[in-house]
Structures are given as structure tokens and as C-alpha cells.
Structure 1
Amino acid sequence: MAEVIDLVSTLLGGATMVRLSRFTRQVLICVVAATSIGISIESHADDANIWQSVKKAGVLRCGAAVAPPYVMRDAKTGAYSGFFSDLCRDFGQNVLKVKVEFVDTTWDNMVAGLQSDKWDLAMALNDTPEREKAISFSAPAADDNVSFVYNKNDPRVPKQIKALGDIDKPDVTVAVMSGTAQDKAISAVLKQAKIMRLPGSDETRLALMSKRAVLVADENFANMLLTEAHPDWAVAYHPSPALAEQPVTFGVRKDTPATDIAALNKYIAEQVQSGTVNRLIKRSNQSILADMKK
């Protein structure tokens, strides 16, 4: 166990860009402990195991709903990018040794599609108690929470937001991606503001820019990109305590064997420890900012 703790300390020390919560630290200890008993995908001989089935099919299907910087899709080519897309692609190609297929979906259908075997992995899902009733989760690749972005020149927004009550007003409209953890989080705390539920991040940002919405609620990583892209007017409000702080993971079907989940967790732990996740996040952010400047 001492060796496990040492390895976890090394891992956590290298994760400078990804903020790891207490829950994440506990999960990573379990992940590294699992690797110490020599878990390997090749050791699974039972065809009922998910990864063996994927190998037989020759393709890993990744359920994809757009949520920058986790999952992004080029409108012209249909190509997927974003750090969760990169992780899914790498796990399929270099660990399972199969082709990778991204299956377009929406956040409203992400869990249902996983349950009905439309894809093998659901990308960038928040691990919530409600979802745990229906599916299982990998160890987190990142932690995130919900923040709000608004136009500092909009007279409908207080000059200084000190609490959620300052924006929970009947004349305030908050745009959010429908069916996401952000949607559920703000629905629980905003009792007077109007919630505008839209299918994707592009739509929520357009609603803000066109002033149909006063604020946009999204995950902190995504909102950070918005403020960096528009520093002249975009300002972020971060509720304290953090709103809906949750790990961001891969979702798997409920019947996925523990050994298969452990194999996926081992891969994730290696990517975090090596700094690969940090580099992928940085690359995703740079790509989005470059596109915004075009």
C-alpha cells in the first residue's frame, strides 16, 4: 500500500491543470491500487466482457454530444476533437487495437443510447447519483463545476454579482444545454429566472451574444473559453460554494464487468499521471480560441 500512496502522490503532483477533488483523489487511489495487481485487458477470456466484444467487432463506438473543450465536432468535415474525443480514440486504437467510431447524439439521449447498446462508451459524462442508477462510470479524467458568463455591459445584470439571488430574477433568462448536468444544477437553484434550454453550446452562446439570454450556464472549462475569446465583454461568475462540482468521466453500461472498468481506469490514470490529459486540454483550448478568432 505504501507504494500505491507514493504513486498517487506522484500522479497528483503532476496534475497541475486538472483540479482534483477529494472524491477524485480517492478514486485515483483505487485505480492505482488496481493496477498493482496486474490487471490487463488481454487477460479477459470471457466473451461476455465488453472489451473482448469490442475487439471481436473491430470497432469501439464512442457516444458523442458536443460540449467544448471535452467533445467538439468540425461542422464541415464531421471530424471529432476535444480531449475526451482524443482519449476515446487513443484507448480504442492503442489499447484495444480497434477502429474508433464516433456516434452523434445529444445529451438528452446519451444515457439511453448507452443502455440500448448504441455505443460502448459515453464521453464526458458527469458522475451523478441519478445516473448511477442506470449506468456505471470510469474514474474521472477531470473535475468541473458550473459557472455563468454574462455581458458586463448588459444593464439587466448587477454590476457585481455576489450570490445566486442576484441573478435569480423574473426578468433574467439563463441559457443552458438541455439534458446536461448544468441544466439539472441550475434548475435546482434558480426559482424565478427563466431557463432557456437549447440543444448545444453554440446555441447557448448565440443566445447570449444576441441578448436573448442574459447569462449562459455551462461547465467551468467551457465558460473559461468563452471569456478568453471575448475579454472585452464576457465576464464569468463562479458561485461559492462551487455549484455542482462533479467528476467528468466515461460512462459504461451497468453490466460492464469490474475488470473491464478497471482496465479503462488504469488507462485514464496513466494519461493523468503522464501529463497527457493536461496537454490534451491545452490543445483543445487553443484550437477553440483559434477558431473563434477566424
Structure 2
Amino acid sequence: MVRLSRFVRQTFLSFVAVSCVVASAPSHADGTAGWESVKEAGVLRCGAAVAPPYVMRDPKTGEYSGFFSELCRNFGQNVLKVKVEFVDTTWDNIVAGLQSNKWDLSMALNDTPEREKAISFSAPATDYNVSFVYNRNNPKIAKGAHSIAEIDKPGVTVAVMSGSAQDKAITAVFKQAQIMRLPGNDETRLALMSKRADLLADANTTNMLLTEAHPDWAVAIQPNPPLAQQEVAFGIRKDTPAADIAVLNKYVSEQVSSGAVNRLIKTSVQSMLASNK
């Protein structure tokens, strides 16, 4: 796991600083981060960019699900004792919207050095790496491929969500294949299924859903060595008080250690697979 020392420090803070008194903060309106501000407003705003099974949105009802959505909902309702509102966004805007106070937490963000320059992160809820899915009948992709060199070739097109962690990861390593950047998960899957793209680059957990839903044609490539092995956490603004970060870290750490996160992941995966039948 990357930056383990930072995680250890945050976890330690969560148990020693959580008892600190959080200083009073102004309302949402002036952009000051802090749970007192959230409590005064009476609502925790969760920035939501869709990426199953982390964050999912029912296109008919607009209702959010997925294990990070549940973590954000539970934190707001059970820890802060406020209502929870999900604010729809994209991966291109997930950091900027947090910085500009459009929401209080960004969900399911990969903790990267680039993002750490702009925002802070909670303790991690899970790990992440990039995998690829292709159609087993596609002659451009060699069976048994397991390295970037075997798929980074002229004439190969890779679909990816624009602005996502996987977009940045493959941009750094693909030199010959064409990268097709699309706004969301639905668009990237459609590009692969319609054969406009030869490969779909996405989070390993997300791609697992696709291969399990379509075992007749979908095959996953897990690069060796792993590509973009990172931690996935909540994004929070830089001006969030340390005591407030400790409250969030304590909550996340307890959800991980109790097995609640793993249970939420399994539930989200099962829900996604059921909706694809």
C-alpha cells in the first residue's frame, strides 16, 4: 500500500484527536471546511462521480448507491447527525468542485501525489489498481496478454473515463495505442461493447463487475506489475481542521476494521450484477 506512514499517522490521530473540541466554524456559504459548518447547515454534501461499485446512480430515480455512497450516507446520518445530499459531478470536476465548496466530501478518490497538492485525504477505505477488459474474439489482443507492452500497439483503442485516476495512469504508460476519453462509465462500456474500443481501462473492482456480468465474451487483463496501485479515500478540503479529519478517519478506520466496508462492497457488487441480468 502506498504512503503507509501517512495512513498510520492519520489512524493514530483519529483515536487521540477525535476527543478534541472542534472550534466553531461559519456556514457552508463562506467556504470554510469543518463539521460544525456542516452541522449548522444541517446537511452533508457528498460529491458523486459515478464509478460502479464505488458510486452508482439509478438513472430512473436518481438514487445513489455503491459502497462509498453508503459510507458517506452513514457518516452524515450516524456520526454528524445531519441529512445527506449527493451532488452529481464528473471525474474531471471532482477535485475542483470540492475546492470551490460545492460539496463537503468527494467520494472514492484515488490518493495521488498530484491530487494531494490540491486537497487532503481521509484514511483509505480500500485499494485500487487499473485493469483492462477486452472481447475474447478481438484479434488485436493476444490471448494471455499480461503486460502493457503487449497491448500498447498502433491500431489499438483504449476507452477510459476522462479525468479519472485510470485516465492519468494509462496516459503515462501508453505511447502507441489511441486513448478514447469519454465522460462516464456507461459510455466507456458502450464503446467496448460496440467495438469502437478494443480495451476498457477501469478500476480492477469495476472491471470485475463487467467480466462477471458477461463471462461469454469479456476477459480481464491484470497488468504485471500492477498499474497505479493506490489507496481510495474521501477527498476533503485543505482547510479542514485536524480534529475534523480525525473524526472522519476514526469512522473510516472502524468501518474497515469491523469488516463493514467488505460487506458493503459485496452488497454493491451483487446489486450491480443483478441489475445487469
Range into which the TM-score falls when normalised by the shorter chain: over 0.9
Q: For 1:27 and 1:288, how far apart are their aligned partners in 2? A: 33
1:81 equivalent among 60, 65, 72: 65
Tell me which stretches of 4 or more aligned residues in structure 1 moved more than 4 Å. Answer: none
2:85 equivalent among 101, 121, 143: 101
Quick check: 1:136 aligned with 2:115? no
| Matched residue, 2:272 | 288
CA distances 1:127-173 after superposition (whole Å, capped 9, x unpaired): 11111111111111001100000011111111221421111111100
CA distances 1:85-115 after superposition (whole Å, capped 9, x unpaired): 0000000000000000000110001111001
Quick check: 1:152 aligned with 2:136? yes
Indicate conservation of the 8 Å contact 1:31/1:269, yes or no.
no
Q: Secondary structure at the match of 2:127?
A: strand
Q: For 2:39 and 2:19, how far apart are their aligned partners in 1? A: 14
| Matched residue, 1:44 | 22
Indicate conservation of the 8 Å contact 2:51/2:185, yes or no.
yes
Gaps of 5+ in 1: 1-20
Quick check: 1:65 aligned with 2:44? no
Q: Secondary structure at the match of 2:139?
A: coil
In structure 2, relative to structure 1, the CA distance for the partners of 1:265 and 1:173 (3 Å cut) is: same
| Matched residue, 1:29 | 8
Q: For 2:108 and 2:197, how far apart are their aligned partners in 1? A: 25
Letter in 1 for 2:239: D
In structure 2, relative to structure 1, the CA distance for the partners of 1:62 and 1:93 (3 Å cut) is: same
Q: For 1:37 and 1:148, how far apart are their aligned partners in 2? A: 41
2:159 equivalent among 175, 189, 193: 175
CA distances 1:65-91 after superposition (whole Å, capped 9, x unpaired): 000000000000000000000000000
Indicate conservation of the 8 Å contact 2:146/2:222, yes or no.
no
In structure 2, relative to structure 1, the CA distance for the partners of 1:274 and 1:114 (3 Å cut) is: same
Letter in 2 for 1:144: Y
Quick check: 1:233 aligned with 2:212? no
Q: For 1:279 and 1:212, how far apart are their aligned partners in 2? A: 36
CA distances 1:40-67 after superposition (whole Å, capped 9, x unpaired): 47x2133266100000000000000000
Aligned residues: 271
Q: For 1:146 and 1:52, how far apart are their aligned partners in 2? A: 37
Indicate conservation of the 8 Å contact 1:31/1:262, yes or no.
yes
The structural deviation recorded for 1:122 is: 0.4
The structural deviation recorded for 1:28 is: 4.8
Which TM-score applies when normalising by structure 2?
0.94
Indicate conservation of the 8 Å contact 2:133/2:200, yes or no.
yes
Letter in 2 for 1:37: V
Letter in 1 for 2:253: A
Indicate conservation of the 8 Å contact 2:14/2:245, yes or no.
no
CA distances 1:156-196 after superposition (whole Å, capped 9, x unpaired): 11122142111111110000000001001001111110100
Q: For 1:92 and 1:130, how far apart are their aligned partners in 2? A: 28
Q: What is the alpha-carbon root mean square deviation over aligned residues?
A: 1.4
Quick check: 1:55 aligned with 2:39? yes
Letter in 2 for 1:192: Q
In structure 2, relative to structure 1, the CA distance for the partners of 1:166 and 1:35 (3 Å cut) is: closer
| Matched residue, 1:208 | 192
Q: Secondary structure at the match of 1:107?
A: coil
Gaps of 5+ in 2: 27-32
In structure 2, relative to structure 1, the CA distance for the partners of 1:22 and 1:192 (3 Å cut) is: closer
Q: For 1:88 and 1:210, how far apart are their aligned partners in 2? A: 34
| Matched residue, 2:29 | none
The structural deviation recorded for 1:22 is: 5.7
| Matched residue, 1:117 | 101
The structural deviation recorded for 1:29 is: 3.2
Quick check: 1:268 aligned with 2:255? no
Q: For 1:109 and 1:38, how far apart are their aligned partners in 2? A: 31
Letter in 2 for 1:45: A
Indicate conservation of the 8 Å contact 1:65/1:104, yes or no.
yes
Which TM-score applies when normalising by structure 1?
0.89
